[in-house]
Amino acid sequence: MEGLIAERPGVAGLLGVLTSLADPTRLRILALLERHELGVQELCEALGLPQSTVSRHLKVLAQEGWLASRREGTLHLYRMQRAPAESARRLWKVARAETSGWATLETDAARLAKRLLARKAEAEAFFEGAAAEWERVRGELYGAGLPGEALLCLLPRGQVVADLGCGTGDLAARLSPHALRVVAVDRSPAMLRAARRRVQGLENVELHRADLESLPLDDQSCDAALLVLALCYLPEPERALQEAARVLRPGGILAVADLVRHDDEAFRRRMGQAHLGFEPAGLAALIQELGFGGVSCHELRREAGARGPALLVARGERKP
């Protein structure tokens, strides 16, 4: 979404920016949307304000070019523009510095963190119940060929590979003969219990319990990072991609396999997912914005008998 700031340079644009920042509620909204992509209801819960008030301020911020938005099912999701006009960037730096330590912002952030944690708990509850049957369920929904054949061909051999959202450890076990070391990460205790059984005896595979948005890995410590059917379960997939970028060395490979955007809300709820999949072009653009080159993203041919939504595979190379 392009805003009016970009269309009104000079004094008119400056006055528009000043007007849009001259309200404490709009400052609070921008502080949240600078770090998170959120819907109106999530903003209402974080701010403790009614929907009519939040929607009114969102309209002003959108008109003045502060926000980007997209639809996901029946929801409108908002975030701060990644590249607002220069005048807006300068003034926002001042506003952010002057509001640092504002107790109201800290309360907003705490309420939002509680809401996002609840969203994660929904996915974790699904995996607690599905861990024992996950490989069978995954095969029935998406085909037996996922994920190994679709991703192994994208990766270099003999290097350190991060399997992010490793689930029951099936992919980590398949990667083991081809990798120097496999670092497998998942949040679900049930999935990790299954993964420990699956990779038992594989000395080059290590398992970690952690959020994908906060990996227990050093900067530039991996040569490749995989996210297989993981992003659709995360409330904020962009943050997981940022973490993957952080742990990759320059030239490192990111490979993603996930759902193509669909409209089956009942399927999303049944599977405990946070998103209805991704548009290939949109996911490719996001990966490119995060510092990857040579980005490609395409839909996979659906396997015969697969009952779930279509799948995509994306690849990118970490720039120096």
Sign, CA dihedral 118-168-128-262, equals: positive
In percent, the amount of the chain with pLDDT more than 70 equals: 84
Using alpha carbons, list the distances in angstroms from residue 208 to 137, 163, 214, 244: 24, 10, 12, 15
Q: Where residue 43 falls among pLDDT bands split at 50, 70, 90? A: very high
The 3-state secondary structure of 14-40, one letter per residue: HHHHHHHHCCHHHHHHHHHHCCCCEEH
Q: Which CATH number fits domain 131-318: 1.10.132.10, 3.40.50.720, 1.10.1740.10, 3.40.50.150?
A: 3.40.50.150
CATH 1.10.10.10 for the 4-100 domain, yes or no: yes
Looking at residue 35, its pLDDT comes to: 86
- Domains of the chain, by residue range, sit at 4-100, 131-318
Beta bridge partners of 318: 292
Give residue for tokens 């759902």: 259
Q: Where residue 2 falls among pLDDT bands split at 50, 70, 90? A: very low
Q: How far apart are CA 62 and CA 78, in angstroms?
A: 9
Looking at residue 20, its pLDDT comes to: 80
Looking at residue 4, its pLDDT comes to: 38
Looking at residue 56, its pLDDT comes to: 94
The string over 175-205, giving b where at least 16 C-beta atoms fall within 10 Å of a residue's C-beta and e elsewhere, is bbeebebbbbbbbbebbbebbeebbeeeebb
Residue predicted with more confidence, 76 or 73: 76
Alpha carbon 244 to chain centroid distance?
10
pTM of the predicted structure, to 2 decimals? 0.71
**Residues 80-94, mean pLDDT to the nearest whole number:** 78
Q: Where residue 103 falls among pLDDT bands split at 50, 70, 90? A: very high
- pLDDT, one tens digit per residue, over 139-172 is 777 776 655 555 666 676 789 999 999 999 989 9
Looking at residue 15, its pLDDT comes to: 62
Kindly report the backbone phi and psi dihedral angles of residue 231, in degrees, each rounded to the nearest multiple of 5, phi listed first: -60, -35
Lookup: tokens for 27: 């400052």
Q: Where residue 1 falls among pLDDT bands split at 50, 70, 90? A: very low
Checking if the pLDDT of 5 tops 50, the result is no
Return the CA Rg of the chain.
Answer: 21
Checking if the pLDDT of 186 tops 90, the result is yes
In percent, the amount of the chain with pLDDT more than 90 equals: 51
Give residue for tokens 């548009």: 279
